Amino acid sequence: MSAEEITGAEIVVRCLAEEGVEHVFGYPGGAVLYIYDAIFNQNKFQHILVRHEQAAVHAADAYSRSSKKIGVALVTSGPGVTNAVTGLATAYMDSIPMVVISGQVPSNAIGQDAFQECDTVGITRPCVKHNFLVKDVKDLATTMRKAFFIATTGRPGPVLVDIPKDISMHKCVYEYPRELEMRSYKPVDKGHSGQIRKAVQLLQQAERPMIYTGGGVILANAAPELNKLVDKLGYPCTNTLMGLGGCRASSDKYVGMPGMHGTYEANMAMQHCDVLIAIGARFDDRVIGNPKHFCSHPRKIIHIDIDPSSISKRVKVDIPIVGNVKDVLQEFLAQLDASESKTNVNALADWWKQINEWRGRECLKYLPSTEVIKPQSVVEKLWEVTKGDAFITSDVGQHQMWAAQYYPFDKPRRWMNSGGLGTMGVGLPYAMGVQMANPDATVACITGEGSIQMNIQELATCKQYHLTPKIIMLNNRFLGMVRQWQQIEYGSRYAESYMDSLPDFTKLAESYGHVGMKIEKPGDVDGAMREAFAMKDKLVFMNFITDQTENVWPMVKAGKGLTEMLLGSEDL
């Protein structure tokens, strides 16, 4: 036996080091103990012990979202990997690059209903970009290399590597492949120059142009190119929930977020434009509303996306451009610079006049109160105290929408939320992942009293690893978004949406070794917020008791079109 031979577990550790991995989020179990033993004997990366496998995958997810690094999670077989499925599905829906390593029962026990066995490959196939079951230790290094390559190229996504326990114990000569050739997987980066030329010409001829951008801009690190395009053309731009921070919110060309809870001006401009360029966005149902209504208004559509299957999937487009958003926008800008054609200045001025009239509706205006804390005001105060420069994670619900509406982002990769899957419980693990990737940054988690309890055990992880995010809980004692829909769609029949048995969150936070605050009066919001953020070395759990009756406006009801918005309770 050559001295160069090492165990499969040691191969996993070396592969992670080769990929430059600095942190692994995980939870041990029998099927991965050889791997954990190998981790114990290395010093290339740090393992973060979470308290639930779902949190491990969420933390790895946010680690990727908030940086240019790739998140890695490690879970055991059976319930370990089934607990991780929600995190995988969340990352898959939002196209987040990530590698998850799962343990499996020994090879000879697969299919025998062994203890803690499940069909990991079968269960995860619908919610990962790709998955592998390693059957021979000689294939392990190449499989790990493929996993990182697939996760980070083309349209990104999570990749799972399932490793039977005996494979992690077997030995072979270790060699990490530097070059990788995959015959069946060759993602395209560069867009077709002819198609880009057509798009440039069409966009320059537009009288009512609109730039619609999504998470693809963030994932491709294309915010500089997007902002240059917006500034150069002077066209209105909207960022989806996943694309916030792509076009800087402080730009006068930015018209807010589109869709179900988007701004009046963004939705009206989306519907009434004559040329729409979609960049790294997928015409999601929460963005365009009813497709028939959206398509009822004639317009020309340009669609730039790395994934050809996303183009014309929900809305037929006129000029498809397949390629990496950053590469395509760079050529787009070059062709614009070389073009002798000019934009229609007079028509654009008229278009902006119309958009500014829509802006005049002030759709995000709300009634302040001296009696009860308005949730919107808490988010606005958070922006003021952090100077708009924090990393913001959110859970899912009303607080998520208020965060998106009232915390304007000027930078990409500062907003972490579960957009596609809408996963409650992501906020705290997201904050953990963000802080591990950005240790010197200010991190705040905006959450609700329903969402936070789904992964509240991760307060222990924060204590162990000295993680100090500030938790901003907008506590309205309801499952807020459920209550809002029940009010609007179900005759105010609040079936199981009222939270009538809540813990004392201040004492709960303190029991984990953190600082707890309860804020009940509007006049105390500013002081409490500033006090909390002054405690840079502490996790502060801020329980804001907010208005129970407040709804998220505007709102497009299910099945309605973008222009059929409810702007407030008076429209009900």
Choosing from 481, 529, 542, 555, which is the catalytic residue? Answer: 481
Residue 444 Cα distances to 105, 172, 224, 376, 393, angstroms: 39, 46, 25, 16, 6
CA distance linking residue 310 with residue 95, whole number of Å: 12
From the candidates 116, 204, 330, 354, which is the catalytic residue? 116
Is 228 designated active site? no
53 classed as catalytic: yes
Active site (annotated) includes residue 265: no
Q: Is 344 exposed, middle or buried (0-12, 13-18, 19+ CB in 10 A)?
A: middle
Buried b (16+ CB within 10 A) or exposed e, 47-74: bbebbbbbbbbbbbbbbbbbbebbbbbb
Give the distance from CA 135 to its chain's centroid.
Answer: 33
Of the residues 44, 46, 115, 201, only one is catalytic, namely: 115
Number of Cβ atoms within 10 Å of the Cβ of 337: 8
Which residues 6+ apart lie within 8 Å of 74 measured at CB?
A: 24, 25, 26, 27, 32, 35, 36, 47, 56, 100, 101, 102
Which region holds residue 11: left if phi is over 0, alpha if psi is between -120 and 50, else beta? Answer: alpha
Separation between Cα atoms, residue 548 and residue 487, nearest integer Å: 12
116 is catalytic: yes
CB atoms within 10 A of CB 88: 30
Angle at 345 between CA 340 and CA 347, to 5 degrees: 125
DSSP string, 453-475: GGSGGGHHHHHHTT--PEEEEEE
Of 146, 165, 253, 374, the catalytic one is 165
Alpha helix segments (H runs only) across 416-563 = 427-437, 459-464, 480-489, 505-511, 525-534
**Full strand arrangement of the beta sheet holding 130-133:** 46-49, 23-26, 71-75, 98-104, 158-164, 130-133
Active-site option among 53, 265, 331, 449: 53
Residue 191 makes CB contacts below 8 A (sequence gap 6+) with 304, 321, 322, 323, 324, 327, 328, 331
Which helix H or strand E contains 64, and what residues bound it?
Answer: helix 53-65
The verdict on whether 115 is a catalytic residue reads: yes
Beta bridge partners of 447: 473
Q: How many CB atoms lie within 10 A of CB 365?
A: 11
129 phi, psi to nearest 5 deg: -70, -40
**What residues are labeled active site?**
53, 115-116, 165, 481
